[in-house]
Amino acid sequence: MKIIIHGGFFSESSQSSETKLAKQQALTSIVEKSYNYLKNHTALQTIVYAVELLENDELFNAGIGSQIQSDGKIRMSASLMDGLTTRFSGVINIEDTKNPIRVAEKLFTYDDRVLGGSGATNFARHNGFEEFSTEIPQRRKEYEEKLASKGTGTVGCVALDAKGNIAAATSTGGKGFEMPGRISDSATSAGNYATNDCGVSCTGVGEDIVSAAVATKIVTRVADGMPLKIAFEKTFAELKLIDGFAGAIAIDKTGNVYHQDSHPKMVFASYDGINIEVFN
């Protein structure tokens, strides 16, 4: 069993050493809780559990603590993918919902599994997800001062369970001050993709991740027999051609865990039941 999570990139604006330490400590706690959860749950159940914990921590740009868009509203996106069934579900630009990943999970059994905008929000309300403002004072302050961080990314999780099944989940609060209606990579297969060969969750600038089809390319290359490390290196070399800003985490079917970013600011943690590694 293996698990890896990410908390996006550190802010482009300066962050205190205390904030960076707090993020590392939060990731350490969440990855350990999620691994313990994985012991008695599937990879699919575990990625939702882990991302929900990340959404509930205002240190990260997802759920509580999401960025405010240019019109003053928060719109979030989240998705999950099960490697066993290769089913994908997600929500795009959902509003006033505490945990978008749980709404994506609810959609998993529906024929129409990706909903956007008011459709996603209405689905949440009709299925018992109460209206909840995810705005925190810090995000409002950043918005009013036009100091919202650029490209701080998302949160995500990839898990390999005891039966060898892989799943991936990703959730984002946007990049801040974006045009209303803008769609990120987090609820697309470019940013979140899994088969039972490999699972990948991305963070960074959504447009770059979509242009390079980062998660899909990595997983496809691994499925075609390319080692995970080489699949990452080739995909990120292609990303570099467009000066793309992205990071990704992954686990393959043999339990290899890998990560790479185009800018050395991504923060994430992995756990195999023995060693917890925190990266930044």
Q: What is the CATH number of the domain that holds 66?
A: 3.60.20.30
Backbone φ and ψ for 185, nearest 5 degrees, come out as -80, -15
- Dist CA 123 CA 40 (whole Å): 30
- Dist CA 198 CA 247 (whole Å): 16
- Domain hosting 179: range is 2-279
The pLDDT profile of the chain, 280 residues, written as one tens digit per residue, is 999 999 988 654 446 778 888 999 999 999 999 999 999 999 999 999 999 999 999 999 999 989 999 899 999 999 999 999 999 999 999 999 999 999 999 999 999 999 999 999 999 999 999 999 999 888 888 777 754 444 456 899 999 999 999 999 999 998 888 889 999 999 999 999 999 999 999 999 999 999 999 999 999 999 999 999 999 999 999 999 999 999 999 999 999 999 999 977 788 999 999 999 887 6
pLDDT of residue 152: 54
pLDDT of residue 1: 97
**What are the tens digits of pLDDT across the range 103-155?**
999 999 999 999 999 999 999 999 999 999 999 888 888 777 754 444 456 89
* Catalytic, out of 46, 154, 170, 235: 154
| Helix and strand counts by DSSP (H, E) for the chain | 8, 12
Which position has the token pair 């991305």?
A: 202
154 is catalytic: yes
pLDDT of residue 142: 76
pTM above 0.75, yes or no: yes
How many other C-beta atoms can be found within 10 angstroms of the C-beta atom of residue 240?
Answer: 11
Q: Any idea what the Cα angle at residue 184 is, between residues 77 and 20, rounded to 5°?
A: 80
The candidate with the shortest Cα–Cα distance to 6, out of 257, 273, 274, is 257
pLDDT of residue 280: 66
Domains: count for the chain:
1
Return contacts of 12-19, CB within 8 angstroms, 24+ apart. Answer: 12/149, 12/150, 12/151, 12/152, 13/147, 13/149, 13/150, 19/59
